[in-house]
Amino acid sequence: MRLTPETVAAEHEWVRDRAPTVVPVVNETRARLGDHFGVEVDDVTRGAYREEVDTVFADGDRAVNVAGYVSLLRDLDVEGDYPGFVVDETLGRALAETIAGGDPFATLAGATFHFADVTVHTEGGAGADDLDAALVAGFQTRLPGWEWTEGESPFAVGRE
């Protein structure tokens, strides 16, 4: 695999075009998480998803890594799946964490990846499920809608 600015741009468009598939699962995942934790979580629109994809890919250092993970997962298929589940799970979790950004969001996205992965069933090989689950986890973590991310942290020191 060779990553160039052109291949990164192509992966950007591919991820943007996944909105009809990814956004409904983002909203289902948010609803399940909200029910589990007893909180209301706002839905995500396709437009908000696409804007956030643009934001992620506007950061060149993040974009090249996201594009690399996406490309690997798009092409990954393991005969019989189970023996190779570690590689697709590892790549999927890393993609979700890279999309989400630094901690605490990266850790949250990694955990959410596994939560979303159990309900995502995509045609196209072993990596396809994990690719979609990673997009769901990474972008649902980045996007607004969680009350705890909507204001100043009560743990911030020295701000008045």
Does the pTM of the predicted model rise above 0.85? yes
8/127: higher pLDDT: 8
pLDDT for the residue numbered 154: 80
The predicted structure's pLDDT at residue 158: 80
**% the chain with pLDDT above 70:** 93
Domain ranges of the chain: 5-147
Q: What is the pLDDT of residue 43?
A: 96
3-state secondary structure the chain: CCCCHHHHHHHHHHHHHCHHHHHHHHHHHHHHHHHHHCCCCCCCCHHHHHHHHHHHHHCHHHHHHHHHHHHHHHHCCCCCCHHHHHHHHHHHHHHHHHHHCCCCHHHHHHHHHHHHHCCCCCCCCHHHHHHHHHHHHHHHHHCCCCHHHCCCCCCCCCCC
Q: Model confidence over 12-37: pLDDT tens digits? A: 999 999 999 999 999 999 999 999 99
Q: For residue 60, name the pLDDT band (cuts at 50, 70, 90).
A: very high
Residue 100's pLDDT band, with cuts at 50, 70 and 90, is very high
